[in-house]
Amino acid sequence: MNDVMEERVSLYNQAKERKYLYQLNKSFSIGCMKNSLVLMFQKNVREEKIYQMIEDEIIGNLLPIKPDRSFERKKHSSTKFPVSKKAGF
């Protein structure tokens, strides 16, 4: 599935002159697969139809690759007393 999607994304990027290149939204793709898992196991549903439906959903939710967009994560604790530091009874 990943190979097919990369081909479709590259075709999507080449189809028009776009400001940014686009890539798959991986978390959304996993969510689509998770939601369609039940349909895949049903015997009366065609697999090709499900795959095409998933591909269309994923292609509809591509993300632009914006240059120079890397930021350090700020690590901070929101709890005054972390669970690992609490005294036992």
In sequence order, what are the beta bridge partners of 63?
A: 23
pLDDT score of 86: 59
* Per-residue model confidence as pLDDT tens digits over 9-65: 888 888 888 888 888 888 888 888 887 887 777 767 777 888 888 888 888 888 888
Residues 34 and 36: their CA atoms lie apart, in Å, by 5
Rounded to two decimals, the pTM is 0.60
Instruction: Tell me the longest C-alpha to C-alpha distance in the chain.
Output: 66
pLDDT score of 6: 77
